[in-house]
Amino acid sequence: AATAREEMLKVYPRKTQRKRGKQMLVNENPATPAEIGANSRTVPGIITQRGCSYAGCKGVVIGPIYDILHITHGPIGCGWYSWLSRRNITKIRADGEVNFLQYSMSTDMQEDHIVFGGEKQLAAAIQEAYDEFHPKAISVYATCPVGLIGDDIHTVCRQMKEKLGINIFGFSCEGYKGVSQSAGHHIANNGVFKHMIGLDDSPVEAKYKINILGEYNIGGDAWEIDRVLKLCGIHIIGTLSGGVSYDEICNCHMADLNVVMCHRSINYMAEMMEEKFGIPWFKVNFIGLEGTKKSLRKIAQYFGDKELIDRVEEVIAAEMAEVRPVLDDIRTRTTGKTAALFVGGSRAHHYQDLFNDMDMQVIAAGYEFAHRDDYEGRDVLPHIKIDADSRNIEELVVTADETRFDAAKPEKKKALEESGFTFSDYEGMMRQMAKDTLVIDDISHHEMEKLIEMYHPDVIGSGIKDKYVIEKMGVPCKQLHSYDYGGPYAGFKGAANFYKDIDRMTSTKVWKLARAPWHEGGSAPAAEKEPAT
């Protein structure tokens, strides 16, 4: 692994070597992870897979709320780019509901708006959208040029909110706001918290009420999680923000517990809801059989009712009886194969569990934009240096709600903690990875090519920006963002889907037959070379 790392760094100028060197580690002591350089600017000229702050705010966190109208204030490209390109799927679940996600609304800024200002255009767009659709709420997203010319989207939103009498709010999520989409997550969390959370105090009639935070229903994952929890008798008030409605979000502070799937995109919300309402949170993972079982058991333990604990065991037994034979069969072909995962800010970790289920080894992994805590665990939080790029993003000061803070919850939390139960926890990716595996933050195309040449993994989990580069080198690539039209991969049925897809991809001989034109008469395709160890 150390040689591979050196090989990757070799071509860079000295200054880049120093910077990238900190972002690429050999995981020498998994139990005490080394410090990794993360959440810093990509070196100009390096081909990165990262996105922008607008993508993280509109595309990822708020965009999936299906019955509010999302208006992109900017040139049409930004609205176009984020128009159904992420697979956060939705359906209407009750009579009278609306789903606006098939629309892409934009102010379609032109040159004269950049020169003379686009505020009038924005007010007109909100009016037009309101007249046409009469939504419950409208949210407005600023793109790079809007921030550069200084359009005051928040005043426009406030004025239109007064005029139309519906909830209208804006996000200053200009693409350049941070070093990646991660900044947009934080901006989105702040906005959802300020403008939606806590608006509706209607009681929810259910014995065990939770929210799932950081689950976006890619390929139907949230529906599978919902199915399993329903079988157990656990009620989800809101899934933030997969397949979720405006009303559910306004009401989700009525939950007993928040469980967090994607720590990177939504840890801010979990913390703020605890401070304001007293709702405790812990990390779960519904990707992989072990993670799913562990997460269900932990939720049952939190409530502590024997009836629920028993019910969860019954559900696990019944679901495992279905998926175990699938896994047993597939393992005969996947055992010992290798994988590398480079995805976003949580999946490069979560999906290791599914590969472990299949007895496959993850030889290298990394996030695109996660922070040190997602690599090394939340215990490093006090030691993370705040730089100019992160200081850019507002930190909300949150205090306990005078009437709605439920003091019984922190008491319950304390009692459970005394018995060894953990809350507000995330141990990060590196602790779970094997010794001497490679950990690479914000991997570049050059490093990916070197990795393939040296390790030739049986499959790589990544995204659209490098999928075909990888496949041209004779390695199958599973998109772990969109699932390549597949999924769900969460929960029990999702795990079975994943095993089957990976089995197909790693068992076919087609990759060995792929011969790129430049190989004609030249060197053999990578697939025929012996993998390095």
Catalytic residue numbers read 52, 55, 86, 185
Among 25, 55, 255, 526, binds ligand HCA (CB under 6 A): 55
51 binds ligand HCA (CB under 6 A): yes
Among 38, 142, 146, 218, binds ligand CFM (CB under 6 A): 218
DSSP tally for the chain: helices H, then strands E: 22, 14
Cβ neighbours of residue 325 closer than 8 Å, sequence gap 6 or more: none
Residue 155: CA atoms inside 13 Å, Cβ hemisphere, count?
6
In whole angstroms, the minimum distance from the beta carbon of 408 to ligand CFM comes to 31
User: Which string of b and e fits 59-87 if b means at least 16 CB within 10 Å?
Assistant: bbbbbbbbbbbbbbbbbeebbebbbeebb
Q: What letter does residue 24 receive in the DSSP assignment?
A: E
Among ligand HCA, ligand CFM, none, the one that 49 touches (CB under a kind-dependent 5 to 8 A) is ligand HCA
Toward ligand CFM, which CB reaches closer, 139 or 462?
Answer: 462
Among 236, 255, 343, 451, binds ligand CFM (CB under 6 A): 343
Site for ligand HCA in 367-406 (CB under 6 A): none
DSSP track, 282-340: EE---SSHHHHHHHHHHHHHHH--HHHHHHHHHHHHHHHHHHHHHHHHHHHHHTT-EEE
Name which of 495, 461, 186, 202 is nearest 341 in CA terms: 461
Q: Tell me the sheet residues that pair with 277.
A: none
Among 297, 409, 445, 465, binds ligand HCA (CB under 6 A): 465
Toward ligand CFM, which CB reaches closer, 85 or 424?
Answer: 85
Q: Provide the residue type at 438 as one letter.
A: L
Site for ligand CFM in 366-425 (CB under 6 A): none
Toward ligand HCA, which CB reaches closer, 86 or 515?
Answer: 86
Toward ligand HCA, which CB reaches closer, 212 or 348?
Answer: 348
Site string for ligand CFM, 171-200 (x = CB under 6 A): ----------x-------------------
Q: Provide the residue type at 269 as one letter.
A: M
22 binds ligand CFM (CB under 6 A): no
In whole angstroms, the minimum distance from the beta carbon of 180 to ligand CFM comes to 9
Site string for ligand HCA, 422-461 (x = CB under 6 A): ----------------------------------------
With CB atoms as reference, the residue minimizing the distance to ligand CFM is 344
Site for ligand CFM in 225-284 (CB under 6 A): 262, 264-265
Cβ neighbours of residue 175 closer than 8 Å, sequence gap 6 or more: 52, 53, 54, 55, 78, 143, 144
Contact 263, 189 (CB under 8 A): no
In whole angstroms, what is the distance from residue 236 CA to residue 401 CA?
Answer: 23
494 binds ligand CFM (CB under 6 A): no
Among ligand CFM, ligand HCA, none, the one that 1 touches (CB under a kind-dependent 5 to 8 A) is none
Output the CA angle 348-482-236, nearest 5 degrees. 80
**Cα 324 off chain centre by:** 28
464 binds ligand HCA (CB under 6 A): yes
Toward ligand CFM, which CB reaches closer, 143 or 181?
Answer: 181
The count of residues in the chain is: 533
Among ligand CFM, ligand HCA, none, the one that 464 touches (CB under a kind-dependent 5 to 8 A) is ligand HCA
Q: What is the signed CA dihedral for 429, 432, 438, 439, rounded to 10 degrees?
A: 10
Q: How far apart are the first and last CA of the chain?
A: 8
Instruction: Kindly indicate which of the ranges 290-298, 320-328, 479-487, 507-515 contains the residues binding ligand HCA, using the contact rule CB under 6 A.
Output: 479-487
Among 41, 86, 333, 431, binds ligand HCA (CB under 6 A): 86
Among 177, 253, 413, 481, binds ligand CFM (CB under 6 A): 481
Instruction: Kindly indicate which of the ranges 70-78, 288-296, 342-350, 502-510 contains the residues binding ligand CFM, using the contact rule CB under 6 A.
Output: 342-350
Task: Supply 220's token pair.
Answer: 């139907």
Count residues near ligand CFM (CB under 6 A).
16
Cβ neighbours of residue 481 closer than 8 Å, sequence gap 6 or more: 86, 87, 218, 343, 344, 347, 463, 464
Interface with ligand CFM (CB under 6 A): 56, 60, 86, 181, 214, 216, 218, 262, 264-265, 343-347, 481
Binding residues for ligand HCA, rule: CB under 6 A, are 49, 51, 55, 59, 86, 181, 344, 463-465, 479, 481-482
